[in-house]
């Protein structure tokens, strides 16, 4: 078994989607264009995302590009095999998956019986319990899963520090209909890197190290390969991979311990949007972002593309897109059929409570701050209608009404509002992109209709007590009055 070798640069692990079937490619084959696919295919959407991140991290580390012009050329034209092999020749040994000083692993990670489950977020998931044992993973899943372990580590107590970004925040990547082009679209050119003033990277920044530094002291590539865990994978008996299900040679995690730690401050992660506090008195300039856990992700997606003033508690701060997104909009080619790929976990300390993994539309027009402001105004209208509905239903509940089923009817009504608003939102979004000026007026009508329907469904279902019916009628009247008042205000604002 000690003979087993697998190199992350030259052996095939990238799960390309070739007409709905998986075909594995090596990193070299991808960069040379010998193999490519429109997308990746894997039963787990998070592993797919980790794979994209690893591909771009490797490219950021090994193939620097001078400026946007050179980067644009890389996106269009594959590199020759000669150039790729030449470049990786002296580093190849650092990317062995098995053995001493293996890639993204530590040879002296403390021995544990079988820590494979720790490699998977979902084994600590609050909502889903895995139906099968996390005993070992195949060679092809291992590179992406290892990358995910480090990039999305939560704080685990007893010295286990979270990822370089802290508790995992939103990750955004530019998606193109080619895995190779997507890989390049998510690296920063040297010019962009200099503008963001990252400190100099250490030699071979992908190697295992144990560090304790502030975020501002971490180099760009060092941060992409930051290792908060000391993990060690060892070969075990053949069987079914707990990530993809394929039968074959497998590895299990025999070591899993705490490692590098960020000592305050913020590493400006190229794939994460952040809040910027520009006030001179700010204690901390940058803070990472997550989606609101009580709202669907479409309510916040334009804030991932253009600068926006925060609202409420965040009023003083600016929402800034990820550096990679800004580079794409300002220097590369925002109109070439790109989408915005988003991964976000909602975590409560070490426990994962939810996951968003979606693709959103992305073009120059959509990333325009003015259009972003317009979309935010649609979301604010929806928020306003939602609050009116919430008040009306709460009023009914206080009076002892509502469907008499104990429990969550109010919660159900609230959740249904956001669910039913999604389709009207995207239709309005599309209509606005086409320049239809009355689209927002129709949107308001539709969500008010949704709110009224929900009120009727939830408040009137056990109406048999005349006194209580009077409460329902009053609450419904107030809801309608609120809508009318908002319309008047909106009309005045336009005039
Ligand atoms: Zn697998």
What does the pLDDT read at residue 406?
47
**Domain annotation covers residue 268:** no
Q: Which domain holds residue 469?
A: 370-494
Residue 5 has pLDDT above 90, yes or no: yes
What does the pLDDT read at residue 136?
93
From the list 215, 317, 305, 308, the residue with the least C-alpha distance to 276 is 317
CA of 133 to the centre of ligand 1 (A): 14
What does the pLDDT read at residue 259?
94
**Distance from the Cα of residue 380 to its chain's centroid:** 23
CA of 351 to the centre of ligand 1 (A): 24
CA pseudo-torsion sign 319, 338, 266, 170: positive
Q: Judge if 252 and 382 occupy the same domain.
A: no
What does the pLDDT read at residue 89?
96
Q: Judge if 116 and 234 occupy the same domain.
A: yes
Instruction: Give percent above pLDDT 70 in the chain.
Output: 91
What does the pLDDT read at residue 27?
98
What does the pLDDT read at residue 397?
77
What does the pLDDT read at residue 190?
98
CA of 353 to the centre of ligand 1 (A): 25
In the structure, what pLDDT confidence band is assigned to residue 405 with cuts at 50, 70 and 90? very low
**Cα separation of 146 and 230, whole Å?**
11
What does the pLDDT read at residue 401?
54
**Domain annotation covers residue 199:** yes
CA of 280 to the centre of ligand 1 (A): 49
Spatial contact of 393 and 412, defined as CB atoms under 8 Å apart: no
What does the pLDDT read at residue 123?
45
CA of 43 to the centre of ligand 1 (A): 9
Structural tokens at position 23? 């075909």
**Cα separation of 173 and 457, whole Å?**
40
**Domain annotation covers residue 181:** yes
The chain-wide mean pLDDT, for the chain, equals 89
Q: Is pTM, for the whole model, over 0.85?
A: yes
CA of 210 to the centre of ligand 1 (A): 28
CA of 154 to the centre of ligand 1 (A): 23
- Tell me the mean pLDDT in the region 83-109: 94
Spatial contact of 179 and 27, defined as CB atoms under 8 Å apart: no
Stated length of the chain: 495
CA of 90 to the centre of ligand 1 (A): 29
CA of 159 to the centre of ligand 1 (A): 30
**Domain annotation covers residue 321:** no
CA of 430 to the centre of ligand 1 (A): 39
Total domains in the chain come to 2
Q: Judge if 253 and 378 occupy the same domain.
A: no
pLDDT tens per residue, range 309-360: 877 666 678 999 999 999 999 999 766 789 999 999 877 666 667 788 899 9
The answer to which of 57-66, 144-153, 381-390, 485-494 has the lowest mean pLDDT is 485-494
Q: Judge if 109 and 249 occupy the same domain.
A: yes
Residue 461 has pLDDT above 60, yes or no: no
CA of 253 to the centre of ligand 1 (A): 14
Residue 137 has pLDDT above 60, yes or no: yes
CA of 116 to the centre of ligand 1 (A): 13
Among 216, 237, 262, residue at a domain's last position: 262
Q: How many CB atoms lie within 10 A of CB 447?
A: 24
CA of 1 to the centre of ligand 1 (A): 19
What does the pLDDT read at residue 134?
82
pLDDT tens per residue, range 58-80: 999 999 999 999 999 999 999 99
Q: Which residue has the higher pLDDT, 61 or 107?
A: 61
**Domain annotation covers residue 295:** no
CA of 266 to the centre of ligand 1 (A): 34
CA of 58 to the centre of ligand 1 (A): 20
CA of 246 to the centre of ligand 1 (A): 6
**Domain annotation covers residue 232:** yes
CA of 171 to the centre of ligand 1 (A): 23
The answer to which of 58-62, 94-98, 286-290, 293-297 has the lowest mean pLDDT is 293-297
What does the pLDDT read at residue 221?
98
**Domain annotation covers residue 202:** yes
CA of 399 to the centre of ligand 1 (A): 56
**Cα separation of 352 and 122, whole Å?**
7
CA of 243 to the centre of ligand 1 (A): 5
Q: Judge if 44 and 191 occupy the same domain.
A: yes
What does the pLDDT read at residue 463?
54
CA of 227 to the centre of ligand 1 (A): 22
CA of 42 to the centre of ligand 1 (A): 9
CA of 6 to the centre of ligand 1 (A): 14
Structural tokens at position 18? 């070739």
Residue 1 has pLDDT above 70, yes or no: no
Which residue matches tokens 């319309």? 487
- Tell me the mean pLDDT in the region 118-124: 63
Q: What b/e string do you get for 312-332 counting C-beta neighbours within 10 Å, with b at 16 or more?
A: eeeeebebbbbbbbbbbbebb
What does the pLDDT read at residue 493?
75
Residue 384 has pLDDT above 50, yes or no: yes
**Domain annotation covers residue 253:** yes
Residue 184 has pLDDT above 70, yes or no: yes
CA of 14 to the centre of ligand 1 (A): 11
From the list 415, 197, 431, 398, the residue with the least C-alpha distance to 296 is 415
Among 217, 233, 262, residue at a domain's last position: 262
Residue 110 has pLDDT above 80, yes or no: no
Task: Count Cβ atoms within 10 A of the Cβ of residue 493 and give its class: 0-12 exposed, 13-18 middle, 19 or more buried.
Answer: exposed
CA of 244 to the centre of ligand 1 (A): 4
What does the pLDDT read at residue 272?
98
CA of 23 to the centre of ligand 1 (A): 13
Q: Which residues pair with 360 in a beta bridge?
A: 340
CA of 288 to the centre of ligand 1 (A): 31
CA of 140 to the centre of ligand 1 (A): 6
Among 262, 284, 306, residue at a domain's last position: 262
CA of 96 to the centre of ligand 1 (A): 17
Structural tokens at position 431? 């209509």
Spatial contact of 366 and 305, defined as CB atoms under 8 Å apart: yes
Residue 157 has pLDDT above 80, yes or no: no
CA of 139 to the centre of ligand 1 (A): 7
CA of 232 to the centre of ligand 1 (A): 17
Q: Judge if 252 and 379 occupy the same domain.
A: no
Which residue matches tokens 């334009």? 302
pLDDT tens per residue, range 262-280: 999 999 999 999 999 988 8
**Cα separation of 59 and 22, whole Å?**
23
CA of 3 to the centre of ligand 1 (A): 20
Q: Judge if 258 and 400 occupy the same domain.
A: no
């Amino acid at each position: 078994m000690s003979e087993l070798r697998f190199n992350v640069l030259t052996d095939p692990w990238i799960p390309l989607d070739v007409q709905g079937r998986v075909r594995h490619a090596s990193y070299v084959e991808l960069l040379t264009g010998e193999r490519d696919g429109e997308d990746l295919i894997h039963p787990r959407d998070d592993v797919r995302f980790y794979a994209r991140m690893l591909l771009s991290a490797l490219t950021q580390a090994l193939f620097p590009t001078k400026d946007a012009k050179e980067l644009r050329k890389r996106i269009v034209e594959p590199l020759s095999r000669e150039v790729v092999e030449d470049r990786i020749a002296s580093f190849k040994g650092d990317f062995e998956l098995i053995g001493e000083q293996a890639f993204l692993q530590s040879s002296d990670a403390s021995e544990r019986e079988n820590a494979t489950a720790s490699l998977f977020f979902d084994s600590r998931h609050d909502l889903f319990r895995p139906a099968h044992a996390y005993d070992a993973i195949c060679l092809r899943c291992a590179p992406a899963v290892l990358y995910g372990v480090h990039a999305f580590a939560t704080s685990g107590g007893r010295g286990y520090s979270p990822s370089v970004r802290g508790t995992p925040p939103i990750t955004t990547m530019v998606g193109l209909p080619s895995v190779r082009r997507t890989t390049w679209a998510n690296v920063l050119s040297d010019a962009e890197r200099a503008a963001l003033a990252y400190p100099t990277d250490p030699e071979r920044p992908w190697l295992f190290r144990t560090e304790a530094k502030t975020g501002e002291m971490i180099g760009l590539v060092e941060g992409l390969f930051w290792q908060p865990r000391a993990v060690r994978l060892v070969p075990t008996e053949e069987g079914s991979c707990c990530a993809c299900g394929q039968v074959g040679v497998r590895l299990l995690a025999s070591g899993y311990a705490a490692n590098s730690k960020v000592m305050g401050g913020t590493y400006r992660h190229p794939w994460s949007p952040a809040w910027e506090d520009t006030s001179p008195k700010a204690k901390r300039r940058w803070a990472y972002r997550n989606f609101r856990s009580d709202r669907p992700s479409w309510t916040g997606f334009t804030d991932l593309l253009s600068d926006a003033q925060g609202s409420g508690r965040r009023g003083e701060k600016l929402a800034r897109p990820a550096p990679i997104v800004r580079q794409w909009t300002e220097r590369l080619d925002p109109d070439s059929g790109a989408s915005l790929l988003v991964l976000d976990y909602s975590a409560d300390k070490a426990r994962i409570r939810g996951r968003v993994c979606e693709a959103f539309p992305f073009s120059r027009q959509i990333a325009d701050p003015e259009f972003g402001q317009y979309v935010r105004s649609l979301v604010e209208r929806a928020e306003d209608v939602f609050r009116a509905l919430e008040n009306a239903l709460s009023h009914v509940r206080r009076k002892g009404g509502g469907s008499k089923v104990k429990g969550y009817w109010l919660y159900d009504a609230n959740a249904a509002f956001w669910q039913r608003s999604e389709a009207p939102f995207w239709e309005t979004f599309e209509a606005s992109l086409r320049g239809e000026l009355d689209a927002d007026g129709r949107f308001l009508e539709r969500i008010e209709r949704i709110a009224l329907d929900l009120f009727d469904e939830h408040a009137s279902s056990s109406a048999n007590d005349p006194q209580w019916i009077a409460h329902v009628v009053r609450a419904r009247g107030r809801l309608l009055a609120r809508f009318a008042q908002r319309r008047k205000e909106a009309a005045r604002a336009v005039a």
